[in-house]
Amino acid sequence: MTTNPENRPPLLQKLDGRWTATGDVTGEPVQYNVLAAPALQGQFTEISMNDVQVPSQYEARIFIGFDGESQQVIAHWMDNFGAAYSIPHGTGSIAGNVIEFIVPYPQTAFKDRFEYFPESDTWTLEITAQQPDGSWKHFARYDFRRAA
């Protein structure tokens, strides 16, 4: 198998850099320091999130890749809740300025929707949780602004 040294679509590349993310998780205010960069020889974008509390209470790594053959986004979300919460992986797509994937956890599915706003060079990440009736309910929202 040969690998392309930069397999990330241009939209994923726009995530690269240092960010401050503010928003909420289940209605509670949060703030994170975020670093996004190419990983694994350009096959993924790795997003490192750490809350600003000292000591940190939440830390996550998100790996988002794109499979050109299937035209699918493949995402792996890992955090300090442990290994059991890192499976299964998410799948989704890129359309316009939106990267969206669903992670079908055994308890409930989560939909992650990254949207890029080129005029301000900012992102939002909205996470919704699937309800028993199939509808989607707010879980978290983060606004990403480039760090100074």
Task: Measure the CA–CA gap between 19 and 25, rounded to whole angstroms.
Answer: 18
Q: How many CA atoms lie within 13 A of 98 on its CB side?
A: 9
**Does any domain span residue 111?**
yes
pLDDT for the residue 86: 80
Provide mean pLDDT across the span 32-58: 92
Instruction: List, for residues 93-118, the tens digit of each pLDDT value.
Output: 999 999 999 999 988 999 999 999 99
Sequence-separated contacts (24+) of 35-42 with Cβ below 8 Å: 38/6, 38/8, 38/13, 39/63, 41/3, 41/5, 42/3, 42/4, 42/5, 42/6, 42/7, 42/8
At 43, which amino acid appears?
Q
Q: How would residue 1 be classed by pLDDT, with cut points 50, 70 and 90?
A: very low
Q: Please check the confidence at residue 4 and state whether its pLDDT lies above 80.
A: no
**Does any domain span residue 5?**
no
Report yes or no: 49 and 32 within 8 Å, Cβ to Cβ. yes
> How many domains, in total, are found in the chain?
1
Q: Please check the confidence at residue 2 and state whether its pLDDT lies above 60.
A: no
Provide mean pLDDT across the span 33-41: 95
Which CATH number belongs to the domain containing residue 35 in this structure?
A: 2.40.128.20
Q: What is the largest CA-CA distance in the chain?
A: 45
**Does any domain span residue 36?**
yes
Average pLDDT over the chain reads 92
pLDDT for the residue 19: 98
Cα 142 to the center of its chain, rounded Å:
10
Q: Please check the confidence at residue 69 and state whether its pLDDT lies above 60.
A: yes
Q: Please check the confidence at residue 34 and state whether its pLDDT lies above 60.
A: yes
pLDDT for the residue 84: 78
**Does any domain span residue 1?**
no
Q: Please check the confidence at residue 12 and state whether its pLDDT lies above 80.
A: yes
**Does any domain span residue 79?**
yes
Q: Which domain holds residue 49?
A: 10-146
Report yes or no: 92 and 102 within 8 Å, Cβ to Cβ. yes
